[in-house]
Amino acid sequence: MTLQPTKAKYTGTVGEIAASLPGAAAIFKNFNIDFCCHGDVSLDEAAADRGIDVFMIEQALSTLKADDLPTPAKLSSGELTEYIQTRYHETHRREIAELIQLSRKVEAVHKDHPRAPAGLADVLRQMEGELEVHMKKEELILFPAMRWADTVLDAPISQMRHDHNDHALFLERLKGLTNEFTLPEDACRSWQALYSGLAKLADDLVEHIHIENNILFPRFEAR
Ligand SMILES: [Fe+2]
Ligand SMILES: [Fe+2]
């Protein structure tokens, strides 16, 4: 008997499912499904891309209860842009600055270690610069426009989506330099703190981009 691929019962794209079902984003992350920059595919397609039976993902999703967690999709655009600034923009600024210091220290102290993340601080500096320019554009131009009027903002949003794809490339570079934030057995406390901080930054940035791409921006794009 030939087994037919299971058809997903969750409709909409993975980006939409992550936006409307609290906790779905964490499940997609566990299955390595990109719901953030490439969230415009169905659950069936995403599962097929990863070589996973869609039924496994649906089982995990079915354990979620819609009211367990607060959801950004329920916030007004004014509330949501404020939330993004305080929860994500300010947090990235603070944490990247700390991670640059920490990576300089780890790179210097362990420069002869074969697994030392050589060049990490420089990549973080570039990432800090690009994120800062991007977040300033959102804070000074795009978010105020969203608070003033319920209007179509296709052109600036398309530029922001493009920037988000660049941020995702920075995350790939960070993972490449650190073997996906995997520590060597003899890693010191600073090295441990550096990689756990980087993993947190990566998780936060993916969540941040997801909320903008899949919840906030569609409210201001032409259908
Ligand atoms: Fe943002
Ligand atoms: Fe953004």
What was the pLDDT predicted at 1?
43
The mean pLDDT of the chain is 91
Q: In this predicted structure, what is the pLDDT of residue 5?
A: 53
Mind spelling out the 3-state secondary structure of the chain? CCCCCCCCCCCCEHHHHHHHCCCHHHHHHHCCCCCCCCCCCEHHHHHHHHCCCHHHHHHHHHCCCCCCCCCHHHCCHHHHHHHHHHHHHHHHHHHHHHHHHHHHHHHHHCCCCCCCCCCHHHHHHHHHHHHHHHHHHHHHHHHHHHHHCCCCCHHHHHHHHHHHHHHHHHHHHHHHHCCCCCCCCCCCHHHHHHHHHHHHHHHHHHHHHHHHHHHHHHHHCCC
Centre of ligand 2 to C-alpha 19, Å, is: 16
- Ligand lying nearest the CA atom of residue 164: 2
| C-alpha of residue 216 to centroid of ligand 2, in Å | 10
Percent of the chain with pLDDT over 90: 70
* pLDDT value for 6: 59
pLDDT, position 118: 96
Tell me the per-residue pLDDT of 56-103, one tens digit each, with 9 for 90 and over: 888 888 877 655 555 889 999 999 999 999 999 999 999 999 999 999
Say what the pLDDT of residue 71 is. Answer: 80
Distance CA 141, CA 222 (A): 19
Q: How far is the CA of 185 from the centre of ligand 1 (A)?
A: 36
* pLDDT tens figures, 104-144: 999 999 999 999 999 999 999 999 999 999 999 999 999 99
Ligand 2 mean position, distance from CA 214 (Å):
11
Q: How far is the CA of 223 from the centre of ligand 1 (A)?
A: 22
CA of 149 to the centre of ligand 1 (A): 19
Instruction: Report CA-CA distances (Å) from 7 to 14, 48, 53.
Output: 14, 11, 9
Which ligand lies nearest the alpha carbon of 167? 2
pLDDT score recorded for residue 2: 42
Nearest to 208 by CA among 89, 34, 45, 70: 89
Q: How many CB atoms are located within 10 Å of the residue 115 CB?
A: 15
Which listed ligand is nearest to 214 at the C-alpha?
2
Q: How far is the CA of 163 from the centre of ligand 2 (A)?
A: 7
Span from the CA of 119 to the centroid of ligand 1 (angstroms): 26
